[in-house]
Amino acid sequence: MFKKKIKNIYFKFFNKIIFLIGCIGLRRLRNTYKNITSLEDAELKIFSQGGDDGIIDYLLFSLNIKKPKFVEIGIQNYTESNTKFLYDRTSAKGLIIDIEQNLTEKVKMYTNIWKGDLKILEREINSDNINSILYENNFSKELDLFSIDIDGVDYWVINELNQDFSKIVVCEYNSVFGADLKITVPNLKKFNRTNYHYSNLCFGASLKALIELLASKNFIFLGCNLLRNNAYFISKKYSKKIHLNFPDLENISMYTDSNLRESRKKNNRLNYLSGRKKIEEIYNCEVFDLASKKIKKIKELFI
């Protein structure tokens, strides 16, 4: 018990230091916003996994949104997420969701939830419940930012959302699936990335699949972070406020050229596969091919 308290004090102090450094870095970065032509130029890592804190601030700043209303699905304990910094800094209104056990207790350990209107929900999100959950928690309308990273049926969840469901959308994609195919894991209930394949490499959807899906909901693709795991979109209603060089949709291979090495062995230990070895590891995995509307093994699509 004593060790736990000491650990909590340490993390809270450490988080304050990171927050203060982040605020300084953000002020400097904002001086460059007028000259930014690609999302990578706006990257700044504070509490996000990659440089997403900076990208998100750039987009919100460009839309003149000072206190965003946001939803983030897939946060673990909220120490490393896309919305923690903006929540801490702006006292925003947000809904955060994850299946992490004792989620509220864990979030409270590292986040001052009194600083804003933050709802914490411990639920599994799927294509059947996403709209009802957003509605029941009063987050079905007037969203400024929607972020999803559930390592699984992300495509099918987004597919159920309405047109222009948010001004800005951040969604995780699977760069291992490459730039050319429109594929996603099947819409399975209680999808678990590790259970589906021990390597943890067969999850989510390809970037091309998400670009097409979001386009059907009136969003424009803006680019990705340098980690090549998060894709950014903006509602067409607000696209004129973003002064970027929009990506060439006929050539998105640069956004799937990822050096992430998070593959695992059957004993769950990291084995750091890279290059083509990553896709070869999951050749026998089944995915839903959106072009043919059929379940296929990956080796049928890549060989």
pLDDT digits (tens, 9 = 90+) for 166-212: 999 999 999 999 999 999 999 999 999 999 999 999 999 999 999 99
* Domain total of the chain: 1
For residue 142, what are its two tokens?
């007037």
127-154 mean pLDDT: 98
Quick count: other Cβ atoms within 10 Å of Cβ 178?
18
Biggest CA pair distance of the chain: 58
Q: Please list the residues that pair with 169 across neighbouring strands.
A: 146, 233
pLDDT at residue 2 is higher than 70: no
Task: Round to whole Å and give the CA distance between 68 and 61.
Answer: 10
Q: Is the pLDDT of residue 276 over 60?
A: yes
Overall average pLDDT of the 23-47 stretch: 97
pLDDT band at 14 (very low <50, low <70, confident <90, very high): confident
DSSP H or E stretch at residue 156: helix 154-159
* Distance from C-alpha of 100 to C-alpha of 279, rounded to nearest angstrom: 29
Confidence of residue 12 (pLDDT cuts 50, 70, 90): confident
218-221 CB contacts, 8 Å cutoff, 24+ apart: 218/163, 218/164, 219/164, 219/169, 220/246, 221/246, 221/247, 221/249
Residue with tokens 């993390």: 11
Mean pLDDT of 63-75: 98
Sign of CA pseudo-dihedral 217, 223, 225, 227: positive
Looking up residue 123, the CATH number of its domain turns out to be 3.40.50.150
Sheet with 183-184: strands ordered across: 183-184, 286-289, 294-297
Its domain, for residue 53, covers: 2-302
DSSP letter at 266 equals T
